[in-house]
Amino acid sequence: MEIKTSDLYCIITPLSPMLDKREAVRIVQEFDNSKIIGLDMTFVKDCTIDFFEEIALKAEKSFVGLFNISSDIFTIFNIMELDKRLNLFVSEMDFKQNKHRILNRKLCLV
């Protein structure tokens, strides 16, 4: 796990391709509540339900943003409607500027 901190942000990059409960607990332990938390999901290829639950619980208490998400994991976020509780971004720059948040609005034409 790689951690980059600045005066405003704490960006955590998990280096494991599979995130399970153990990895999620390690990541949540590294969260600094005084900073804005960002998870760089560049190397992550698969996640378990435990990871999604841990991150969703932590996101209720502080600002957590995820970026560089693979399409498979992004699909799971949309199906589980976690995109409504977590802040999903395309890149680190969008995360830092808090712009261009990815939302699934589920619009339909009538």
CA nearest to 69, candidates 94, 51, 50, 43: 43
Output the pTM of the full model: 0.84
Strands 46-47 and 64-67, bridge-based pairing = unpaired
Q: What string of pLDDT tens digits covers the 110 residues of the chain?
A: 899 988 889 999 999 999 999 999 998 888 877 788 999 999 999 999 999 888 888 888 888 899 999 999 998 888 888 888 889 999 999 999 999 888 877 777 77
